Amino acid sequence: MSQPWRLNWKREVLYQANGTTTLRNVLSIAILCLVFAGCSQKEGREEGNDEVLQTERTEIEYPIAEVAILGTFHFQSNVDAYKRKYHVDISSEKTQKEIQELLDHLKAFQPTKIALEAPISKQERLDSLYQEYRKGNFELPVPEMYQLGFRLAEQLEHPHIYGVDTQAPFHMETRVADWDQYAKETGLYDKWKYFDAYFREKYAMSDSLKTTMSLLHYYSFLNSKEVEDVSGQDKLNGMIQLGAGDTYIGADGITKDFRRNLRIYTNMLSLIESDDDRILMIYGSSHKRILRRFFEDSMEFTYVDISPYLE
């Protein structure tokens, strides 16, 4: 049986390197041709489609910001569904030096704002702590939003820092008291548990690498296209099929993740003030694949791949 932990060739077809024709751009051009006269002369172009779309997009009357996402693991243990087995001593001298090396690379992106996986509802408290840190009155805790976000913002002399995180309600059209029993009754228990175990094994493998690499090298790996392409496959295999054709409880459960990321994207829109904005998001890597698509399709953002800055 072929395994899902590999580079997804379908996505490679959809998103080729910059400067070449992509399926998404071809579809977009086709739509534009239905709306604007004279588009027929653009047919058959192997290059330049990005320029056409960019021209149309930059005619909007609102500023367009650049955005990059640094996918990260959580420095604080076991705050996600996957319970980590491998840990890094953030307070050690070695790790602190590696954190600074990572920050030095991120500075090359020249962000004007830094957005963190911190609740937008706690923005006032977050910025108050950041101001105290700038004054030397706040010792940074372990989480990455402090060790990476606060430190980078302070070194770049940013006046503020921004939390854009939020949650989404877990609405279910149908309530199921016992998911395991329901899965067995519908004949999907074995398939669900197979994929669950499969991806947990892969997460553990990826998690272990940070104990054998420098932080910079690990972040380069974590933010590579190959890793990003497979990071969302767990949401589309296994549990999602539970209730298909009936209750759709699996799909409803997965929907919560997409609703949360849509809300995060909405919060990001509020940070745009001018065309000069370059926003760096420091976020759990599991969010990156979904958010990237939102930013790529947005008329108000230009998505920038962070990987070259980590080389």
Tell me whether residue 138 is in a domain.
yes
- Give residue 18's domain range: 9-57
CB of 162 closer than 8 Å to CB of 215: no
231 falls within a domain: yes
Same structural domain for residues 182 and 76? Answer: yes
Across the chain, what does the average pLDDT equal?
Answer: 85
Beta strands in 209-306 (DSSP E): 278-284, 301-303
* Domain-terminating residue out of 34, 57, 80: 57
Q: State the pLDDT at residue 19.
A: 42
pLDDT for 306 equals 98
pLDDT of 86 reads 86
Element (H, E) at 118: strand 113-119
Give domain status of residue 253, yes or no. Answer: yes
Classify residue 296: in a domain, yes or no: yes
Is residue 4 in some structural domain? Answer: no
- Statement to judge: residues 148 and 129 lie in one domain: yes
Same domain assignment for residues 53 and 127: no
Task: Please provide the size of the chain in residues.
Answer: 311
At 169 the pLDDT is: 87
| DSSP string of 155-203, one letter each residue | HTT-S--EEEE-------SS--S-HHHHHHHTT-HHHHHHHHHHHHHHH
Whether 110 and 179 map to the same domain: the answer is yes
- Write out pLDDT tens, residues 30-65: 444 443 334 433 333 344 555 655 556 657 999 999
Residue carrying structure tokens 């005619």: 59
Residue 170 placed within a domain: yes
At 56 the pLDDT is: 60
pTM, two decimals, is 0.81
Of 27 and 135, more confident: 135
Instruction: Say if residue 204 is in the same domain as residue 289.
Output: yes
Check whether residue 39 and residue 116 sit in a common domain.
Answer: no
50 touches 18 (CB < 8 A) = yes
Answer with the one of 57, 72, 88 that is the final residue of a domain.
57
Answer yes or no: is 2 within a domain.
Answer: no
Question: Is 3 part of any domain?
Answer: no
End-to-end Cα separation, the chain, in angstroms: 35
Q: Are residues 138 and 276 in the same domain?
A: yes
Does 236 share its domain with 294? yes
Q: How many domains is the chain built from?
A: 2
Mean pLDDT of the region 79-97: 84
Residue 25, pLDDT above cutoff 80: no
The per-residue pLDDT for range 255-288, each reduced to its tens digit, is: 999 999 999 999 999 999 999 999 999 999 999 9
